[in-house]
Amino acid sequence: MTSIVLDRFFGRAPSVRTVSVAMLLGAAVLCSGLAQISALPDAGFSFTGAVEGIRSQAATTVPAGLLIALAVALDVLAGAILLRLLGAPPFGTLSEMILAGFTAAVVLETATLLLLGGLGLFRWPILLALQLALLWAWHATGRARPLLACRLAFRPRRPAAWWPLVLAVWSGPLIVQLASPAAPFFDVLPNHVAPVEHVRAFGSFETLTTSPSPIYGPSRLLLGYVGLLGQLAALTGVRGVLATAAFALPLTVVSAISMRHLAARLFGGSAGFWALLAFPLTFAFMRLPDTRGTVMALPLAAFALANVAGLLRARRGAVAGGRFDPTLAAALGATLLVHPLVGVTTAAAVGGLLLLEPRRLAPALAPAAVTAALLAVPQAGTMLGIGAPSWLGGAWMLVALPAGYVAARTAAPALSNLLAGLPAAPGQGRLSSVALVQVLLVLGAIGVSLIIARAGILPPDDPASYLVDHFVRITAATVAGAAAGLLVARRGWIVLGSAVAAGLAAWAASSLVGRDSLTEQAIHYEVPKAIQYWLPVMLAVGSAGAIAAFMRLRRLGPLRPLALGVFILAATFPYPGPVISSIQIGEHRASESLALAFREAELGYWQSFPDTRLIIGPEQEEVVERLQEEIAAGRLGPSTGVLHLAASFQQWRSVPIGVFTGAIETSISLEPELSIHTEGGRLLGFDSLPAELAAGYGYVVLEPGGLEEAGFEPPLDEQVEAAGYRLIWSNSIAQVFARGG
């Protein structure tokens, strides 16, 4: 009996037991690193303080987390069912089903948002009825359309000793979520939370450019994000600022599954496990509690790349014949809807693979690409500021799937016949002349992109310096792994190389754009910012492939676990070098990332705000509650404007009305701004006050604090009343005026 328990804990084979010992030592190193960091003055924390921070918020965060997790599970199931009803084949594994369901849920909820939200019907009874209808449809056709291709069975493939380190590292985002009743990053509030709260509060999304907060405009409005998170908030009744924070748990689970799935698809099953140690080194892992669109798009992109890699591994001719699989179309389309820049980079990587393997990929990829492009048309209209009725965008999305079927029936067979004469690359393990050309083309694309970027962007802001300075471990591991494993997993490294090349090409292309207009300046800021998430994630997957490649080299003997131990130590222990004491770009070793999670749980994220947990203080909450009463009474509707007069528009100085009520807010302050960071177009100065008061807003909120020294004559409250507004409520920090009678 003891022997069986030890075998399950450590493994049977001597090599597996050696790895088990290395993983347990890694867990001990993690604890040692945490103890050392906890004593530092700038990064220190106390475990008791972190536990108390979680306990103080648990009554709010735990129920919300459970509700959002259950709603996500229902969404994922509905998405998987929808794909099966549309003709997708049964899913090979539970992980694949979860990822497929998640991508389909993004597309489904976006279309639902545009259709129902455009009609003011995005309410929980209707949303729940739609979900139940899909469940009934699956039940009615369950035997004919099973979700999984095999029976569901949970068989641990790794000894139990391998998991304590992984689970400890991945607990960081959950620790932050349990202590955070508000999504912990300030730019998420106007960009993501405000439209989600608008959808929850009003059940409406009238136009494609509905943007409640005045800070950001339609160019940063992400329909896929608003569709999914808005549906979760509406279905559960959890206010937007809490729903986005609670989404951290499902997003963390989906991210772990997606990275494991992509690494396993590229480099084999063992690489899938090592990805769970490599991905936490990335900047994207540190931003999981933010639940920002960039991070949410990465699992979708990873699933799309994994699907393409699956096509490359399929038997020759298995993807031809005009059959349309909607799963890949949903993955590409969902990525574009959640974050267009990440989506375009994913499309570029897939396009590069299509150029390398046209014969194998074109028949299946062409209809999927057509469908994804059509699905993303409403998002393009939003970013271009086309304020069309949302229901038109939803109707357009319904056209996308039939178009994919038509493309599959017509274009795919024609492409198969056209490309039949092209040479096909050999299978795994044979580096032929065709395969060598593919490798050289990928390396050439990477090299050219780096040269162009370095010509237009000075170090250390160019991608080469960025990767070497901030992500040296996973960069070095990927390069070494590619050199060691190219012959073993050639196609996997080519897929990864195409993804890296696509990211570098996007960065290089942004360097060729001028800097005169706000749009050009935004390109210089937004494109590198998105790629700064993309590249480390791809290199983390490459690091997992590198570990798997080295562990397969049996000729190295005892050097294999030694190399693994070095990687675990480098990925876990905070020294040598300075400890990273904040959420900044760079490789956060496991002890650093977990220490930051404990510190944030103890202190709260919102240190410079009125409340370190809730963002707004009690008096600001009173203003929010008064406006919510107007919403509940039907007097403040989805298109009713709220004019906000305050000394500053910054969310830590005035009430963020659009964020907490979802109302369409326009700000007039002493510090108006129009920049790439504030392209909402509604951050005005007091010279605009007479015109705005005459523009017909439904409500005016006046925060006089900080405005007295400006010496307005007549006083602002008198100007508001003279414009036809009447005072309906006030407290010590604000006055609320309503228009008319």
pLDDT for the residue 483: 80
- Torsion sign over Cα 184, 185, 190, 191: negative
Confidence class for position 47, pLDDT limits 50, 70, 90: very high
pLDDT at 142: 67
- Could you tell me if 442 and 515 lie in one domain? yes
Q: Is the domain of 547 the same as that of 672?
A: no
pLDDT at 416: 57
731/638 same-domain check: yes
- Residue 558: the pLDDT is 72
- Look at residue 485 in the predicted model and tell me its pLDDT: 65
Same domain, 658 and 542: no
Nearest-angstrom CA–CA distance, 40 and 455 = 41
Judged against a pLDDT cut of 80, whether residue 735 lies above it is answered with yes
pLDDT over 80 (residue 316): no
- Residue 706 maps to a domain: yes
- Separation of alpha carbons 386 and 393, rounded Å: 11
Task: Compute the average pLDDT of residues 36-45.
Answer: 89
> Residue 496 pLDDT > 70, yes or no?
yes
Give the number of domains in the chain: 2
Q: Is residue 516 situated within a structural domain?
A: yes
Q: Is residue 455 part of a domain?
A: yes
Tell me what pLDDT residue 321 has: 47
**Residue length, the chain?**
741
Q: pLDDT digits over 600-624, tens only?
A: 999 999 988 999 999 999 999 999 9
Burial code (b: 16+ CB inside 10 Å, e: under 16) for 640-675 equals bbbbbbbbbbbbebbbbbbbbbbbbbbbbbeebbee
450 lies in the same domain as 549: yes
Place of tokens 């919403």: 631
Query: Among 514, 538, 561, where does a domain finish?
Result: 561
Please state the φ and ψ torsions of residue 459, each to the nearest 5 degrees.
-60, 145
Q: Which residue would you say has higher pLDDT here, 4 or 709?
A: 709
| 200-235 residue pLDDT tens | 999 999 999 999 999 988 888 999 999 999 999 999
pLDDT digits (tens, 9 = 90+) for 231-259: 999 999 999 999 999 999 999 999 999 99
User: What is the pLDDT averaged over residues 19-48?
Assistant: 91
Average pLDDT for residues 29-37, to the nearest whole number? 94
555 with 639, same domain? Answer: no
- pLDDT, position 403: 78
Residue ending a domain, among 561, 579, 595, is 561
Domain presence at residue 705: yes
* Strand partners for 700: 643, 737
Residue 466 has pLDDT above 70, yes or no: yes
Whether the upstream peptide bond of residue 402 has omega within 30° of 0, thus cis, is no
The pLDDT of residue 169: 95
CB atoms within 10 A of CB 358: 17
Sign of torsion over alpha carbons 683, 687, 689, 694 = negative
pLDDT confidence band for 31 (50 / 70 / 90): very high
Exposed e or buried b per residue across 525-556, where buried means at least 16 C-beta atoms within 10 angstroms of its C-beta: ebbbebbbbbbbbbbbbbbbbbbbbbbbeeee
Residue 318 forms part of a structural domain? no
Read off the pLDDT band of 484 (50, 70, 90): confident
CB pairs under 8 A, 24+ apart, for 482-486? 482/542, 482/545, 482/546, 484/546, 484/549, 484/550, 484/553, 485/267, 485/545, 485/546, 485/548, 485/549, 485/552, 486/431, 486/439
Tokens 């080194």 belong to 281
Residue 419 confidence (pLDDT): 53
Q: How far from the centroid of its chain's Cα atoms is residue 358's Cα?
A: 30
If you average pLDDT over residues 79-106, what whole number do you get?
94
Is the predicted pLDDT of residue 405 greater than 80, yes or no? no
Query: Does position 680 have pLDDT exceeding 80, yes or no?
Result: no
Residue 643 lies in a domain: yes
Three-state SS annotation for 565-593:
HHHHHHHHCCCCCCCCCCCCCCCCCHHHH
- Determine the residue type at 268: G
Q: Is the pLDDT of residue 317 over 50?
A: no
What pLDDT sits at residue 76?
Answer: 96
Q: Assign 740 a pLDDT band (cuts: 50, 70, 90).
A: confident
Confidence of residue 515 (pLDDT cuts 50, 70, 90): confident
Average pLDDT over every residue of 92-110 = 96
Q: Which of 352-366, 685-699, 711-725 has the lowest mean pLDDT?
A: 352-366
Least confident piece of the model among 73-82, 394-403, 405-414, 610-619: 405-414
Residues above pLDDT 90, as percent of the chain: 63
Q: In one letter, which amino acid is 214?
A: P
Asked if pLDDT for residue 12 goes beyond 80, the answer is no
Q: How far is CA 618 from the centre of its chain?
A: 32
Q: Which two tokens stand for residue 438?
A: 């593919």
* Average pLDDT over every residue of 37-63: 93
Q: 630 exposed, middle or buried (CB, 10 Å; 0-12, 13-18, 19+)?
A: buried
Q: Are residues 622 and 555 in the same domain?
A: no
Q: What is the per-residue pLDDT across 558-604, written as a single tens digit (0 to 9) for each? A: 777 788 888 899 899 998 878 888 888 889 999 999 999 999 999 99
Answer yes or no: is 27 within a domain. Answer: no
pLDDT band at 45 (very low <50, low <70, confident <90, very high): very high
Residues 723 and 624 in one domain: yes
User: pLDDT band at residue 663, thresholds of 50, 70 and 90?
Assistant: very high
Cα gap 226→122, rounded to integer Å: 12
pLDDT at 413: 64
* Adjacency order of strands within the sheet including 641-645: 683-685, 664-669, 641-645, 699-702, 735-739, 725-730
Whether 623 maps to a domain, the answer reads: yes
Q: Residue 194: enclosing H or E segment and its boundaries?
A: helix 194-202
Whether 196 and 230 have beta carbons less than 8 Å apart is answered as: yes
- How confident is the model over 7-29, as a mean pLDDT? 83
Token pair of 618, please?
């009690």
Rounded mean pLDDT of 404-422? 64
Domain that holds residue 431: 426-561
Has residue 521 got a pLDDT over 80? yes
Average pLDDT of the segment spanning 257-276: 94
Quick one: average pLDDT of 20-34? Answer: 92
Q: Which residues are CB-neighbours of 192 under 8 A, at least 6 positions away?
A: 183, 222, 225, 226, 229, 244, 291, 292, 293
pLDDT (0 to 100) of residue 254: 98
Give the Cα separation of 342 and 371 in Å (integer): 18
Residue 74: what pLDDT?
A: 96
pLDDT-derived band at 1 (thresholds 50, 70, 90) equals low
- The residue type of 141 is T
Please give the pLDDT value at position 305.
97
Contact call for residues 701 and 644 (beta carbons, < 8 A): yes
More confident residue, 146 or 287: 287
Give residue-wise pLDDT tens across range 159-203.
888 899 999 999 999 999 999 999 888 889 999 999 999 999 999
- As a whole number, the mean pLDDT across the chain is 89
Given 544, 561, 578, the domain boundary residue is 561
